[in-house]
Amino acid sequence: MDKILLNQMEFYGYHGLFPEENKLGQRFYVDVELMLDLKTSSRSDDMHHSIDYGEVYNTVRDVVEGEPKHLVEAVAENMSDKLFHSFELLEACKLKVTKPDPPIPGHYQSVAVEIFRERNA
């Protein structure tokens, strides 16, 4: 299946279980993999047969910078719901939401949640 990829989009949000996360906020990185048939758009060179990357970015930004959630899992699920609602050509998506600086002790690069969703599955 064809894919549109948006990688390492960076946003600032207020998601997390701890009060300081909801008050101070933190950075989030989002990777989006959109699966759809791009044959028609690649032949027609017409945006009406594809998905506008800028609109995808805005949709993701609105979720990450929007209403705080306790779990990154809920952020990812909300994001997938909004993407399917906004883009009728979207057949499936894989989303990765990364917290590079979660308030947990230890040495690690980041923590992340990745989900895969299909339309009407």
pLDDT digits (tens, 9 = 90+) for 73-112: 999 999 999 999 999 999 999 999 999 988 888 988 999 9
Domains in the chain: boundaries: 3-118
Domain boundaries 3-118, corresponding CATH code:
3.30.1130.10
> Whole-structure pTM over 0.75, yes or no?
yes
Best CA proximity match to 95, nearest among 27, 3, 32, 36: 32
Q: Above 80 in pLDDT, residue 121?
A: no
Residue 118's pLDDT is 98
Residue 34's pLDDT is 98
Which of 39, 94, 96, 99 is labelled catalytic? 99
Q: Does the active-site annotation cover 39? A: no
pLDDT digits (tens, 9 = 90+) for 1-45: 999 999 999 999 999 999 999 999 999 999 999 999 999 999 999
Residue 104's pLDDT is 85
Residues facing residue 29 across a β-bridge: 10, 98
Best CA proximity match to 29, nearest among 121, 98, 111, 82: 98
